[in-house]
Structure 1
Amino acid sequence: MASSNDSIQKTIIVALSLCLVCSVFVAAAAVGLKPIQNANKDLDRKRNILSAANMLDPSKSVDEIFSSVEARIVNLQTGAFATQAELQAAGIDPVAYDQKAAAKNPQLSVALSGENDPAGIKRRANFSSVYLVKANNALDKIIVPVHGYGLWSTMYGFIALQNDFNTVIGFGFYDQGETPGLGGEVDNPNWKALWQGKLVYDEQGDAVIRLAKGGVDSSDPQAAHKIDGLSGATLTSRGVTHLVQYWLGEEGFGPFLAKLRSEGVQ
Protein backbone atom coordinates (compact mmCIF):
# COMPACT_ATOMS: atom_id res chain seq x y z
CA MET A 1 0.00 0.00 0.00
CA ALA A 2 2.80 2.38 0.90
CA SER A 3 4.53 1.53 -2.35
CA SER A 4 1.36 2.41 -4.26
CA ASN A 5 1.06 5.76 -2.44
CA ASP A 6 4.72 6.53 -3.13
CA SER A 7 4.15 5.84 -6.81
CA ILE A 8 1.17 8.23 -6.94
CA GLN A 9 3.08 10.94 -5.11
CA LYS A 10 6.06 10.59 -7.43
CA THR A 11 3.78 10.80 -10.46
CA ILE A 12 2.20 13.99 -9.16
CA ILE A 13 5.60 15.51 -8.32
CA VAL A 14 6.96 14.67 -11.78
CA ALA A 15 3.86 16.09 -13.47
CA LEU A 16 4.01 19.32 -11.45
CA SER A 17 7.75 19.66 -12.09
CA LEU A 18 7.22 19.15 -15.81
CA CYS A 19 4.45 21.79 -15.83
CA LEU A 20 6.68 24.22 -13.97
CA VAL A 21 9.60 23.70 -16.35
CA CYS A 22 7.33 24.07 -19.39
CA SER A 23 5.74 27.23 -18.02
CA VAL A 24 9.19 28.73 -17.44
CA PHE A 25 10.21 27.95 -21.02
CA VAL A 26 6.93 29.36 -22.43
CA ALA A 27 7.23 32.55 -20.37
CA ALA A 28 10.86 32.99 -21.39
CA ALA A 29 9.97 32.47 -25.05
CA ALA A 30 7.10 34.96 -24.83
CA VAL A 31 9.34 37.59 -23.24
CA GLY A 32 12.17 36.91 -25.66
CA LEU A 33 9.94 37.05 -28.75
CA LYS A 34 8.05 40.17 -27.65
CA PRO A 35 10.46 42.65 -29.30
CA ILE A 36 10.32 40.68 -32.56
CA GLN A 37 6.52 40.54 -32.44
CA ASN A 38 6.31 44.28 -31.79
CA ALA A 39 8.73 44.99 -34.64
CA ASN A 40 6.69 42.84 -37.04
CA LYS A 41 3.48 44.52 -35.91
CA ASP A 42 4.98 47.97 -36.50
CA LEU A 43 6.30 46.90 -39.92
CA ASP A 44 2.86 45.60 -40.89
CA ARG A 45 1.26 48.89 -39.80
CA LYS A 46 3.70 50.86 -41.92
CA ARG A 47 3.12 48.58 -44.91
CA ASN A 48 -0.65 49.04 -44.68
CA ILE A 49 -0.32 52.82 -44.48
CA LEU A 50 2.00 52.92 -47.48
CA SER A 51 -0.22 50.53 -49.42
CA ALA A 52 -3.24 52.81 -48.98
CA ALA A 53 -1.21 55.69 -50.41
CA ASN A 54 0.16 53.55 -53.28
CA MET A 55 3.68 54.20 -52.02
CA LEU A 56 5.05 50.66 -51.82
CA ASP A 57 8.11 50.09 -53.98
CA PRO A 58 9.61 46.57 -54.27
CA SER A 59 13.05 48.09 -54.80
CA LYS A 60 12.96 49.79 -51.38
CA SER A 61 12.35 48.59 -47.85
CA VAL A 62 9.21 49.58 -45.99
CA ASP A 63 11.23 51.49 -43.40
CA GLU A 64 13.10 53.37 -46.12
CA ILE A 65 9.88 54.53 -47.77
CA PHE A 66 8.20 55.28 -44.45
CA SER A 67 11.01 57.68 -43.53
CA SER A 68 9.15 60.30 -45.59
CA VAL A 69 6.00 59.86 -43.49
CA GLU A 70 5.36 61.96 -40.39
CA ALA A 71 2.98 60.58 -37.77
CA ARG A 72 0.95 63.15 -35.85
CA ILE A 73 -1.90 63.00 -33.33
CA VAL A 74 -5.13 64.88 -34.01
CA ASN A 75 -7.63 65.99 -31.40
CA LEU A 76 -10.93 65.07 -33.04
CA GLN A 77 -12.82 67.22 -30.56
CA THR A 78 -11.07 70.41 -31.68
CA GLY A 79 -10.23 69.47 -35.26
CA ALA A 80 -6.59 70.44 -34.75
CA PHE A 81 -3.28 68.76 -34.11
CA ALA A 82 -3.09 67.77 -30.45
CA THR A 83 -0.86 69.96 -28.31
CA GLN A 84 1.72 68.54 -25.97
CA ALA A 85 -0.37 69.76 -23.03
CA GLU A 86 -3.44 67.93 -24.32
CA LEU A 87 -1.51 64.70 -24.79
CA GLN A 88 0.04 64.94 -21.34
CA ALA A 89 -3.34 65.63 -19.73
CA ALA A 90 -4.76 62.52 -21.46
CA GLY A 91 -1.70 60.44 -20.57
CA ILE A 92 -0.96 59.71 -24.24
CA ASP A 93 2.45 58.78 -25.57
CA PRO A 94 2.35 59.84 -29.26
CA VAL A 95 4.80 57.12 -30.26
CA ALA A 96 2.95 54.26 -28.57
CA TYR A 97 -0.63 55.54 -28.96
CA ASP A 98 -3.13 52.71 -29.52
CA GLN A 99 -6.34 54.13 -30.95
CA LYS A 100 -8.24 50.84 -30.68
CA ALA A 101 -7.49 50.63 -26.97
CA ALA A 102 -8.31 54.31 -26.47
CA ALA A 103 -11.75 53.84 -28.04
CA LYS A 104 -12.57 51.32 -25.30
CA ASN A 105 -11.50 53.71 -22.53
CA PRO A 106 -14.35 56.01 -21.38
CA GLN A 107 -11.76 58.60 -20.33
CA LEU A 108 -10.31 58.77 -23.85
CA SER A 109 -13.41 58.35 -25.99
CA VAL A 110 -17.06 59.27 -26.45
CA ALA A 111 -20.02 56.93 -26.68
CA LEU A 112 -22.03 56.87 -29.91
CA SER A 113 -25.48 55.54 -30.62
CA GLY A 114 -28.31 55.70 -33.13
CA GLU A 115 -27.97 58.37 -35.79
CA ASN A 116 -24.67 59.49 -34.26
CA ASP A 117 -23.11 56.12 -35.03
CA PRO A 118 -23.70 55.33 -38.74
CA ALA A 119 -20.44 53.36 -38.87
CA GLY A 120 -21.49 51.12 -35.97
CA ILE A 121 -18.31 51.70 -33.94
CA LYS A 122 -20.09 52.37 -30.59
CA ARG A 123 -17.25 54.52 -29.24
CA ARG A 124 -14.94 57.02 -30.95
CA ALA A 125 -11.52 57.85 -29.55
CA ASN A 126 -10.96 61.54 -28.82
CA PHE A 127 -7.55 61.42 -30.48
CA SER A 128 -6.41 59.80 -33.70
CA SER A 129 -3.16 59.21 -35.49
CA VAL A 130 -2.75 60.70 -38.97
CA TYR A 131 0.14 60.34 -41.40
CA LEU A 132 1.59 63.20 -43.43
CA VAL A 133 3.75 62.67 -46.51
CA LYS A 134 5.88 65.61 -47.57
CA ALA A 135 7.73 66.37 -50.79
CA ASN A 136 10.10 69.31 -51.16
CA ASN A 137 9.15 70.45 -47.64
CA ALA A 138 5.47 70.71 -48.60
CA LEU A 139 2.59 68.43 -47.70
CA ASP A 140 2.00 66.03 -50.58
CA LYS A 141 -0.61 63.64 -49.19
CA ILE A 142 -2.31 62.63 -45.96
CA ILE A 143 -3.37 59.19 -44.77
CA VAL A 144 -6.03 58.73 -42.10
CA PRO A 145 -7.35 55.59 -40.38
CA VAL A 146 -11.00 54.56 -40.78
CA HIS A 147 -13.09 51.74 -39.39
CA GLY A 148 -16.69 50.64 -39.20
CA TYR A 149 -19.01 47.66 -39.22
CA GLY A 150 -19.86 45.72 -42.37
CA LEU A 151 -22.00 42.57 -42.40
CA TRP A 152 -19.98 40.32 -40.10
CA SER A 153 -17.08 42.35 -38.82
CA THR A 154 -15.56 45.67 -37.96
CA MET A 155 -13.39 46.63 -40.94
CA TYR A 156 -10.18 48.57 -40.27
CA GLY A 157 -8.33 50.44 -42.98
CA PHE A 158 -6.69 53.61 -44.24
CA ILE A 159 -7.68 56.18 -46.85
CA ALA A 160 -5.13 58.48 -48.49
CA LEU A 161 -5.95 61.92 -49.89
CA GLN A 162 -4.07 64.35 -52.08
CA ASN A 163 -3.02 67.70 -50.64
CA ASP A 164 -6.34 69.21 -51.73
CA PHE A 165 -7.78 67.07 -48.89
CA ASN A 166 -10.56 65.94 -51.21
CA THR A 167 -9.17 63.69 -53.94
CA VAL A 168 -8.65 60.02 -53.05
CA ILE A 169 -5.23 58.53 -53.77
CA GLY A 170 -5.98 55.08 -52.43
CA PHE A 171 -8.05 53.10 -49.95
CA GLY A 172 -7.82 49.68 -48.38
CA PHE A 173 -8.64 47.52 -45.38
CA TYR A 174 -6.00 45.64 -43.42
CA ASP A 175 -8.41 43.81 -41.10
CA GLN A 176 -11.87 42.56 -42.06
CA GLY A 177 -13.93 39.39 -41.74
CA GLU A 178 -16.51 39.79 -44.49
CA THR A 179 -17.80 36.91 -46.64
CA PRO A 180 -15.11 35.67 -49.07
CA GLY A 181 -16.09 36.33 -52.68
CA LEU A 182 -18.78 38.83 -51.65
CA GLY A 183 -18.08 41.44 -48.98
CA GLY A 184 -14.53 40.09 -48.83
CA GLU A 185 -14.01 41.70 -52.25
CA VAL A 186 -13.05 44.86 -50.35
CA ASP A 187 -9.58 43.31 -50.60
CA ASN A 188 -9.76 42.94 -54.38
CA PRO A 189 -7.04 45.17 -55.95
CA ASN A 190 -9.28 45.88 -58.96
CA TRP A 191 -12.02 47.22 -56.72
CA LYS A 192 -9.62 49.24 -54.58
CA ALA A 193 -8.21 50.82 -57.74
CA LEU A 194 -11.67 52.30 -58.46
CA TRP A 195 -11.23 54.71 -55.54
CA GLN A 196 -8.29 56.53 -57.04
CA GLY A 197 -9.25 60.03 -58.20
CA LYS A 198 -12.69 60.02 -56.57
CA LEU A 199 -13.81 63.12 -54.66
CA VAL A 200 -14.90 63.02 -51.02
CA TYR A 201 -16.70 66.35 -50.63
CA ASP A 202 -19.37 68.17 -52.59
CA GLU A 203 -19.47 71.94 -53.14
CA GLN A 204 -21.07 72.43 -49.72
CA GLY A 205 -18.23 70.58 -48.01
CA ASP A 206 -20.28 67.51 -47.10
CA ALA A 207 -18.68 64.06 -47.28
CA VAL A 208 -20.79 62.44 -50.01
CA ILE A 209 -18.42 59.78 -51.36
CA ARG A 210 -20.31 56.48 -51.52
CA LEU A 211 -20.66 53.06 -53.09
CA ALA A 212 -23.23 52.85 -55.89
CA LYS A 213 -25.44 49.79 -56.10
CA GLY A 214 -25.31 48.35 -59.61
CA GLY A 215 -22.22 50.32 -60.54
CA VAL A 216 -21.43 53.92 -61.44
CA ASP A 217 -23.14 55.55 -64.41
CA SER A 218 -20.53 57.78 -66.06
CA SER A 219 -23.27 60.21 -67.12
CA ASP A 220 -24.33 60.71 -63.49
CA PRO A 221 -23.43 64.26 -62.32
CA GLN A 222 -22.36 62.69 -59.02
CA ALA A 223 -20.17 60.01 -60.63
CA ALA A 224 -17.00 61.65 -59.30
CA HIS A 225 -18.20 60.84 -55.77
CA LYS A 226 -19.26 57.24 -56.45
CA ILE A 227 -17.51 53.86 -56.53
CA ASP A 228 -18.99 50.61 -57.83
CA GLY A 229 -20.76 48.71 -55.06
CA LEU A 230 -19.75 45.16 -54.18
CA SER A 231 -21.89 42.69 -56.12
CA GLY A 232 -24.01 40.55 -53.79
CA ALA A 233 -22.76 42.37 -50.70
CA THR A 234 -25.29 45.12 -50.04
CA LEU A 235 -24.68 45.35 -46.29
CA THR A 236 -20.90 45.39 -46.62
CA SER A 237 -21.19 48.09 -49.32
CA ARG A 238 -23.47 50.11 -47.08
CA GLY A 239 -21.01 49.69 -44.21
CA VAL A 240 -18.12 50.97 -46.33
CA THR A 241 -20.16 54.02 -47.36
CA HIS A 242 -21.14 54.76 -43.77
CA LEU A 243 -17.65 54.41 -42.32
CA VAL A 244 -15.97 56.55 -44.98
CA GLN A 245 -18.61 59.28 -44.73
CA TYR A 246 -18.44 59.19 -40.93
CA TRP A 247 -14.66 59.42 -40.62
CA LEU A 248 -14.32 62.09 -43.31
CA GLY A 249 -17.39 63.94 -42.04
CA GLU A 250 -18.09 66.41 -39.25
CA GLU A 251 -17.73 63.88 -36.43
CA GLY A 252 -14.46 62.51 -37.77
CA PHE A 253 -11.64 64.19 -39.69
CA GLY A 254 -13.85 66.69 -41.57
CA PRO A 255 -13.08 69.74 -39.37
CA PHE A 256 -9.40 68.83 -39.23
CA LEU A 257 -9.11 68.49 -43.03
CA ALA A 258 -11.02 71.76 -43.50
CA LYS A 259 -8.57 73.49 -41.17
CA LEU A 260 -5.61 72.09 -43.11
CA ARG A 261 -7.19 73.25 -46.34
CA SER A 262 -7.51 76.83 -45.10
CA GLU A 263 -4.47 77.14 -42.84
CA GLY A 264 -2.00 74.50 -43.99
CA VAL A 265 0.14 72.29 -41.75
CA GLN A 266 1.27 74.00 -38.56
Structure 2
Amino acid sequence: MAAPERNPWRRLLALPNESRTKTLLVAFLVATVCGVMVSGATVLLRPIQSANRAAEEQARIASLVQGIPGMAGLLDRSGGKLSTVVVDLPMGRAATEVTPAKLGTALAEAANWTVLSPAADIAGLGRRPDFAQVFLLRDGEKISLVLLPMTGQGYGGRIDAILALSGDLDTIAGIAITNHSETPGLGGRIEEPSWQAGFAGTRTRDAAGTLRFDVARGPAGGPYEVDGITGATRTGRGVAGMVRFWLGPDGYGPFLDAIRRGEF
Protein backbone atom coordinates (compact mmCIF):
# COMPACT_ATOMS: atom_id res chain seq x y z
CA MET A 1 0.00 0.00 0.00
CA ALA A 2 1.42 3.36 -1.04
CA ALA A 3 2.15 5.86 1.69
CA PRO A 4 -0.22 8.86 1.72
CA GLU A 5 1.14 12.01 0.07
CA ARG A 6 2.28 14.47 2.75
CA ASN A 7 3.11 17.42 0.44
CA PRO A 8 -0.03 19.65 0.47
CA TRP A 9 0.83 21.18 -2.91
CA ARG A 10 1.09 17.76 -4.57
CA ARG A 11 -2.10 16.67 -2.84
CA LEU A 12 -3.85 19.72 -4.30
CA LEU A 13 -2.55 19.04 -7.80
CA ALA A 14 -3.59 15.41 -7.51
CA LEU A 15 -7.21 16.38 -7.04
CA PRO A 16 -9.39 16.05 -10.17
CA ASN A 17 -9.93 19.23 -12.16
CA GLU A 18 -13.64 19.02 -11.43
CA SER A 19 -12.97 19.34 -7.69
CA ARG A 20 -14.59 22.43 -6.21
CA THR A 21 -11.88 22.58 -3.55
CA LYS A 22 -9.14 22.60 -6.19
CA THR A 23 -10.92 25.26 -8.24
CA LEU A 24 -11.41 27.57 -5.26
CA LEU A 25 -7.87 27.15 -3.95
CA VAL A 26 -6.27 27.73 -7.36
CA ALA A 27 -8.44 30.81 -7.92
CA PHE A 28 -7.46 32.12 -4.47
CA LEU A 29 -3.76 31.54 -5.12
CA VAL A 30 -3.90 33.20 -8.54
CA ALA A 31 -5.76 36.20 -7.11
CA THR A 32 -3.24 36.48 -4.26
CA VAL A 33 -0.24 36.35 -6.58
CA CYS A 34 -1.81 38.92 -8.93
CA GLY A 35 -2.62 41.18 -5.98
CA VAL A 36 0.94 41.03 -4.73
CA MET A 37 2.28 41.77 -8.21
CA VAL A 38 -0.07 44.75 -8.69
CA SER A 39 0.78 46.14 -5.24
CA GLY A 40 4.48 45.72 -5.92
CA ALA A 41 4.19 47.44 -9.27
CA THR A 42 2.28 50.30 -7.66
CA VAL A 43 4.99 50.79 -5.05
CA LEU A 44 7.76 50.61 -7.64
CA LEU A 45 6.03 52.96 -10.08
CA ARG A 46 4.91 55.54 -7.53
CA PRO A 47 8.23 57.48 -7.55
CA ILE A 48 8.19 57.49 -11.36
CA GLN A 49 4.58 58.72 -11.44
CA SER A 50 5.38 61.42 -8.89
CA ALA A 51 8.39 62.51 -10.93
CA ASN A 52 6.29 62.62 -14.09
CA ARG A 53 3.63 64.75 -12.38
CA ALA A 54 6.31 67.09 -11.07
CA ALA A 55 7.84 67.36 -14.54
CA GLU A 56 4.44 68.13 -16.06
CA GLU A 57 3.82 70.86 -13.49
CA GLN A 58 7.26 72.34 -14.11
CA ALA A 59 6.52 72.35 -17.85
CA ARG A 60 3.23 74.16 -17.27
CA ILE A 61 4.98 76.68 -15.04
CA ALA A 62 7.69 77.27 -17.64
CA SER A 63 5.08 77.70 -20.36
CA LEU A 64 3.06 80.09 -18.19
CA VAL A 65 6.08 82.25 -17.38
CA GLN A 66 7.31 82.32 -20.98
CA GLY A 67 3.89 83.51 -22.12
CA ILE A 68 3.87 86.55 -19.83
CA PRO A 69 4.96 89.70 -21.69
CA GLY A 70 8.46 90.74 -20.69
CA MET A 71 9.14 87.60 -18.67
CA ALA A 72 11.36 85.90 -21.26
CA GLY A 73 13.96 88.65 -20.98
CA LEU A 74 13.69 88.64 -17.21
CA LEU A 75 14.24 84.89 -17.16
CA ASP A 76 17.33 85.31 -19.31
CA ARG A 77 18.77 87.95 -17.00
CA SER A 78 18.10 85.81 -13.92
CA GLY A 79 19.49 82.64 -15.43
CA GLY A 80 16.06 81.38 -16.45
CA LYS A 81 15.34 79.79 -13.09
CA LEU A 82 12.55 80.13 -10.57
CA SER A 83 13.40 79.73 -6.92
CA THR A 84 11.03 77.67 -4.83
CA VAL A 85 10.04 77.80 -1.20
CA VAL A 86 7.60 75.87 0.98
CA VAL A 87 5.40 78.36 2.80
CA ASP A 88 3.92 77.88 6.25
CA LEU A 89 0.53 79.31 5.31
CA PRO A 90 -0.82 80.22 8.78
CA MET A 91 2.45 81.96 9.68
CA GLY A 92 3.10 83.51 6.26
CA ARG A 93 6.76 82.58 6.29
CA ALA A 94 9.12 79.97 4.89
CA ALA A 95 8.69 76.59 6.57
CA THR A 96 11.71 75.71 8.69
CA GLU A 97 11.42 71.91 8.64
CA VAL A 98 9.35 71.13 5.53
CA THR A 99 11.35 71.22 2.30
CA PRO A 100 9.97 70.59 -1.21
CA ALA A 101 11.26 67.01 -0.96
CA LYS A 102 9.45 66.49 2.36
CA LEU A 103 6.23 68.28 1.44
CA GLY A 104 4.37 65.15 0.32
CA THR A 105 5.22 63.36 3.55
CA ALA A 106 4.16 66.34 5.63
CA LEU A 107 0.79 66.63 3.86
CA ALA A 108 0.13 62.93 4.42
CA GLU A 109 -0.36 63.79 8.10
CA ALA A 110 -3.83 65.01 9.08
CA ALA A 111 -2.26 67.32 11.68
CA ASN A 112 -0.85 69.45 8.85
CA TRP A 113 -4.28 70.36 7.52
CA THR A 114 -6.75 72.96 8.79
CA VAL A 115 -10.50 72.37 8.69
CA LEU A 116 -12.23 75.44 7.27
CA SER A 117 -15.42 76.95 8.58
CA PRO A 118 -18.29 77.21 6.05
CA ALA A 119 -17.95 81.01 6.05
CA ALA A 120 -14.23 80.87 5.23
CA ASP A 121 -14.44 78.00 2.75
CA ILE A 122 -15.37 80.01 -0.34
CA ALA A 123 -13.31 77.64 -2.51
CA GLY A 124 -15.25 74.56 -1.38
CA LEU A 125 -12.18 72.76 -0.05
CA GLY A 126 -13.38 71.54 3.32
CA ARG A 127 -9.83 71.74 4.63
CA ARG A 128 -6.63 73.51 3.62
CA PRO A 129 -3.02 72.28 3.78
CA ASP A 130 -0.82 74.17 6.22
CA PHE A 131 2.11 74.08 3.78
CA ALA A 132 2.33 74.93 0.09
CA GLN A 133 5.17 75.15 -2.40
CA VAL A 134 5.38 78.45 -4.30
CA PHE A 135 7.74 79.79 -6.96
CA LEU A 136 9.49 83.15 -7.04
CA LEU A 137 11.26 85.02 -9.81
CA ARG A 138 13.63 87.82 -8.82
CA ASP A 139 15.00 90.76 -10.75
CA GLY A 140 18.05 91.49 -8.61
CA GLU A 141 16.79 91.77 -5.04
CA LYS A 142 13.23 92.51 -6.11
CA ILE A 143 10.59 89.80 -6.58
CA SER A 144 9.11 90.32 -10.03
CA LEU A 145 6.79 87.33 -10.23
CA VAL A 146 5.10 85.00 -7.75
CA LEU A 147 3.54 81.72 -8.86
CA LEU A 148 0.90 80.32 -6.55
CA PRO A 149 -0.55 76.82 -6.95
CA MET A 150 -4.21 76.75 -5.93
CA THR A 151 -7.21 74.49 -5.98
CA GLY A 152 -10.96 74.89 -5.65
CA GLN A 153 -14.31 73.30 -6.40
CA GLY A 154 -15.95 73.81 -9.77
CA TYR A 155 -19.24 72.52 -11.17
CA GLY A 156 -17.88 69.09 -12.10
CA GLY A 157 -15.26 68.66 -9.39
CA ARG A 158 -11.85 69.88 -8.39
CA ILE A 159 -10.07 72.62 -10.34
CA ASP A 160 -6.28 73.02 -10.00
CA ALA A 161 -4.44 76.06 -11.27
CA ILE A 162 -1.26 78.09 -11.00
CA LEU A 163 -1.79 81.83 -10.67
CA ALA A 164 1.04 84.23 -11.50
CA LEU A 165 1.11 87.61 -9.78
CA SER A 166 3.26 90.50 -10.94
CA GLY A 167 5.72 92.10 -8.57
CA ASP A 168 3.11 94.53 -7.19
CA LEU A 169 1.23 91.43 -5.95
CA ASP A 170 -2.08 93.00 -6.99
CA THR A 171 -1.96 92.40 -10.75
CA ILE A 172 -2.47 88.99 -12.33
CA ALA A 173 0.26 88.19 -14.83
CA GLY A 174 -1.31 84.94 -16.00
CA ILE A 175 -3.02 81.72 -15.04
CA ALA A 176 -2.64 78.07 -16.04
CA ILE A 177 -5.48 75.63 -15.38
CA THR A 178 -3.64 72.38 -14.71
CA ASN A 179 -6.54 70.02 -13.92
CA HIS A 180 -10.34 70.10 -14.02
CA SER A 181 -13.46 67.97 -14.47
CA GLU A 182 -15.75 70.59 -16.00
CA THR A 183 -18.24 69.89 -18.80
CA PRO A 184 -16.61 69.84 -22.26
CA GLY A 185 -17.71 72.79 -24.37
CA LEU A 186 -19.06 74.68 -21.35
CA GLY A 187 -17.08 74.93 -18.12
CA GLY A 188 -14.34 72.88 -19.77
CA ARG A 189 -13.45 75.98 -21.76
CA ILE A 190 -11.44 77.19 -18.76
CA GLU A 191 -8.57 75.15 -20.21
CA GLU A 192 -8.60 77.18 -23.45
CA PRO A 193 -5.59 79.51 -23.78
CA SER A 194 -7.86 82.27 -25.16
CA TRP A 195 -9.89 82.35 -21.93
CA GLN A 196 -6.87 82.11 -19.67
CA ALA A 197 -5.23 84.98 -21.58
CA GLY A 198 -7.98 87.29 -20.28
CA PHE A 199 -6.52 87.10 -16.77
CA ALA A 200 -3.35 89.00 -17.71
CA GLY A 201 -3.51 92.55 -16.37
CA THR A 202 -6.57 91.95 -14.19
CA ARG A 203 -6.36 93.66 -10.83
CA THR A 204 -7.14 91.68 -7.68
CA ARG A 205 -7.41 94.53 -5.15
CA ASP A 206 -8.52 98.14 -5.19
CA ALA A 207 -6.56 101.11 -3.84
CA ALA A 208 -7.86 100.42 -0.32
CA GLY A 209 -6.52 96.85 -0.44
CA THR A 210 -9.95 95.21 -0.69
CA LEU A 211 -9.97 91.95 -2.62
CA ARG A 212 -12.20 92.56 -5.66
CA PHE A 213 -11.38 89.83 -8.17
CA ASP A 214 -14.36 88.15 -9.86
CA VAL A 215 -15.41 86.19 -12.92
CA ALA A 216 -18.21 88.07 -14.67
CA ARG A 217 -21.38 86.36 -15.89
CA GLY A 218 -20.71 87.84 -19.31
CA PRO A 219 -18.03 90.21 -20.62
CA ALA A 220 -15.79 91.70 -17.93
CA GLY A 221 -17.12 95.02 -16.71
CA GLY A 222 -14.08 96.47 -14.98
CA PRO A 223 -10.40 96.05 -14.08
CA TYR A 224 -11.17 93.44 -11.38
CA GLU A 225 -13.11 91.04 -13.61
CA VAL A 226 -12.38 88.45 -16.28
CA ASP A 227 -14.91 87.34 -18.89
CA GLY A 228 -17.38 84.70 -17.88
CA ILE A 229 -18.17 81.64 -20.01
CA THR A 230 -21.67 81.40 -21.41
CA GLY A 231 -23.56 78.51 -19.83
CA ALA A 232 -20.89 77.92 -17.18
CA THR A 233 -21.89 80.25 -14.36
CA ARG A 234 -21.09 77.72 -11.62
CA THR A 235 -17.66 77.06 -13.10
CA GLY A 236 -17.01 80.81 -13.13
CA ARG A 237 -18.10 81.08 -9.50
CA GLY A 238 -15.78 78.20 -8.66
CA VAL A 239 -12.78 79.89 -10.28
CA ALA A 240 -13.61 83.21 -8.63
CA GLY A 241 -14.00 81.58 -5.22
CA MET A 242 -10.74 79.69 -5.68
CA VAL A 243 -8.74 82.82 -6.53
CA ARG A 244 -10.33 84.91 -3.78
CA PHE A 245 -9.76 82.21 -1.17
CA TRP A 246 -6.11 81.65 -1.96
CA LEU A 247 -5.33 85.37 -2.15
CA GLY A 248 -7.17 85.94 1.11
CA PRO A 249 -6.26 85.57 4.80
CA ASP A 250 -6.80 81.81 4.93
CA GLY A 251 -4.66 81.19 1.84
CA TYR A 252 -1.54 83.01 0.69
CA GLY A 253 -2.58 86.34 2.20
CA PRO A 254 -0.11 86.26 5.15
CA PHE A 255 2.69 85.18 2.79
CA LEU A 256 1.95 88.01 0.34
CA ASP A 257 1.90 90.48 3.23
CA ALA A 258 5.34 89.22 4.27
CA ILE A 259 6.65 89.87 0.74
CA ARG A 260 5.25 93.41 0.89
CA ARG A 261 7.16 93.90 4.15
CA GLY A 262 10.36 92.79 2.41
CA GLU A 263 10.73 89.54 4.35
CA PHE A 264 11.34 87.39 1.26
**TM-score bracket for this pair, using the shorter chain length:** 0.7 to 0.9
How far does the alpha carbon of each residue in 1:88-140 deviate from its partner, in whole angstroms, 9 at most, with x for none?
xxxx44323139x83x8541122113221111111112222111123445422
What is the number of equivalent residue pairs in this alignment? Answer: 241
Measure the CA separation in 2 of the matches of 1:20 and 1:107. 35
Relative to 1, partners in 2 of residues 1:247 and 1:32: Cα closer, same or farther, differing over 3 Å? closer
The 3-state SS of whatever aligns with 2:123 is coil
1:44 equivalent in structure 2: 56
The TM-score, its normalising length taken from structure 1, stands at 0.78
Amino acid at match of 1:132: L
1:72–1:81 contact (8 Å) kept in structure 2:
yes
The TM-score, its normalising length taken from structure 2, stands at 0.79
2:85–2:99 contact (8 Å) kept in structure 1:
no
1:53–1:159 contact (8 Å) kept in structure 2:
no
How far does the alpha carbon of each residue in 1:1-35 deviate from its partner, in whole angstroms, 9 at most, with x for none?
xx994333665665555445545544554444334
Measure the CA separation in 1 of the matches of 2:110 and 2:46. 28
Q: Does 1:79 align with 2:78?
A: no
- After TM superposition, what 4+ stretches of structure 1 lie above 6 angstroms from structure 2? none
Measure the CA separation in 2 of the matches of 1:215 and 1:251. 29
Relative to 1, partners in 2 of residues 1:170 and 1:54: Cα closer, same or farther, differing over 3 Å? farther
Relative to 1, partners in 2 of residues 1:96 and 1:46: Cα closer, same or farther, differing over 3 Å? farther
1:46–1:66 contact (8 Å) kept in structure 2:
no
Counterpart of 2:144 (choices 133, 140, 147) is 140
Amino acid at match of 1:176: H
Residue 77 of structure 1: CA displacement?
1.3
1:121–1:148 contact (8 Å) kept in structure 2:
yes
Measure the CA separation in 2 of the matches of 1:264 and 1:93. 18
2:185 equivalent in structure 1: 181
Measure the CA separation in 2 of the matches of 1:33 and 1:4. 39
Measure the CA separation in 2 of the matches of 1:243 and 1:32. 35
The 3-state SS of whatever aligns with 2:237 is helix
Relative to 1, partners in 2 of residues 1:4 and 1:72: Cα closer, same or farther, differing over 3 Å? closer
- 1:1-266 matches, cutoff 5 A: 5-7=15-17, 8=19, 15=27, 18-19=30-31, 22-23=34-35, 25-54=37-66, 68-82=81-95, 84=96, 87=97, 92-98=98-104, 102=107, 105-136=109-140, 138-217=142-221, 223-265=222-264
Amino acid at match of 2:57: R
Across the aligned residues of Structure 1 and Structure 2, the Cα RMSD in angstroms comes to 2.9
1:183–1:233 contact (8 Å) kept in structure 2:
yes
Measure the CA separation in 2 of the matches of 1:250 and 1:21. 51
Amino acid at match of 2:51: A
Question: Computing the radius of gyration over CA atoms, which structure comes out larger, 1 or 2?
Answer: 2
Amino acid at match of 1:42: A
The 3-state SS of whatever aligns with 2:164 is strand
Measure the CA separation in 1 of the matches of 2:243 and 2:206. 14
1:220 equivalent in structure 2: none
Amino acid at match of 2:58: K
Measure the CA separation in 2 of the matches of 1:96 and 1:158. 21
How far does the alpha carbon of each residue in 1:126-168 deviate from its partner, in whole angstroms, 9 at most, with x for none?
2221111234454221101111111121211110011111221
Measure the CA separation in 2 of the matches of 1:11 and 1:255. 63
2:161–2:176 contact (8 Å) kept in structure 1:
yes
The 3-state SS of whatever aligns with 2:85 is strand
Measure the CA separation in 2 of the matches of 1:12 and 1:164. 69
Relative to 1, partners in 2 of residues 1:109 and 1:13: Cα closer, same or farther, differing over 3 Å? closer
Percent identical pairs in the alignment equals: 32
